[in-house]
């Protein structure tokens, strides 16, 4: 049986305590990606791509939140190179993908449009936060850390690390899939 692979993606972006400084915009600085096999219910790959910001800088607030420093992300790929890597090595255009909420999908859309970069993902995206909320009959959509508590799963690694958050979201996806509550991919 061929594996049913899904890319679980979480991004971290430049951020500030309040409004961005004049002339700066929020840009992706880390892409966390965990590959899950929905047929075997296992996480089968864990990846981290650092992205060099072009129109913003990493603030002290951002470093405190994400653990990422300006000097660390300066060693990353350009956004266009990161998108090409997602497409070439992680089959982002062909594989369905999921994220916790719509922020990640919308951030990629905005940044691709602003930079003229080809959007790396296909049309089959699942909002894992919405799937979790529906499966657990919750009235309010929980954050990832709260969802892990509700599911009885540990928070592994550092919250607001793209690689660690993608790993944790993947655990939630597999929990839903194991219970028969993971929806089929939807075209967007």
**Global confidence as pTM:** 0.96
Q: Is the pLDDT of residue 46 over 70?
A: yes
Question: Would the CA dihedral through 167, 111, 188, 134 be positive or negative?
Answer: positive
Does a structural domain hold residue 82? Answer: yes
Share of the chain above pLDDT 70, in %: 97
What is the pLDDT confidence band of residue 1, given thresholds at 50, 70 and 90? low
Instruction: Locate 103 and state its tokens.
Output: 């922020």
How far is 7 from 81, CA to CA, in rounded Å? 18
Largest CA distance in the chain: 54
How far is 83 from 103, CA to CA, in rounded Å? 17
What integer is the mean pLDDT of 23-47? 97
Closest CA to 179 of 156, 140, 152, 144: 152
Question: What integer pLDDT is reported at residue 134 of this predicted model?
Answer: 97
Domain that holds residue 126: 5-183
Question: What integer pLDDT is reported at residue 13 of this predicted model?
Answer: 98
| Total number of domains in the chain | 1
Does a structural domain hold residue 90? Answer: yes
CB 38 within 8 A of CB 8: no
CATH value at residue 38: 3.30.420.10
What integer is the mean pLDDT of 95-111? 97
Does a structural domain hold residue 188? Answer: no
Instruction: Locate 128 and state its tokens.
Output: 């894992």
């Amino acid at each position: 049986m061929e594996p049913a692979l899904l890319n679980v993606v979480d991004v971290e972006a430049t951020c500030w305590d309040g409004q961005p400084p004049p002339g700066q915009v929020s840009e992706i600085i880390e892409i966390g990606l965990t590959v899950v096999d929905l047929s075997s219910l296992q996480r089968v790959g864990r990846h981290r791509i650092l992205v060099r910001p072009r129109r913003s800088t990493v603030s002290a607030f951002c470093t405190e939140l994400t653990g990422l420093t300006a000097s660390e992300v300066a060693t990353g790929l350009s956004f266009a190179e990161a998108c090409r890597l997602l497409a070439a090595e992680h089959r982002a255009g062909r594989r369905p993908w999921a994220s916790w909420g719509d922020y990640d999908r919308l951030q990629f859309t905005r940044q691709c449009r602003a930079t003229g970069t080809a959007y790396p993902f296909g049309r089959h995206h699942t909002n894992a936060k919405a799937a979790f909320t529906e499966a657990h009959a919750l009235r309010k959509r929980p954050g990832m850390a709260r969802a892990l508590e509700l599911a009885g799963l540990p928070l592994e690694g550092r919250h607001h690390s793209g690689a660690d958050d993608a790993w944790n979201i993947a655990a939630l996806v597999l929990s839903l899939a194991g219970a028969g509550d993971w929806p089929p991919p939807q075209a967007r």
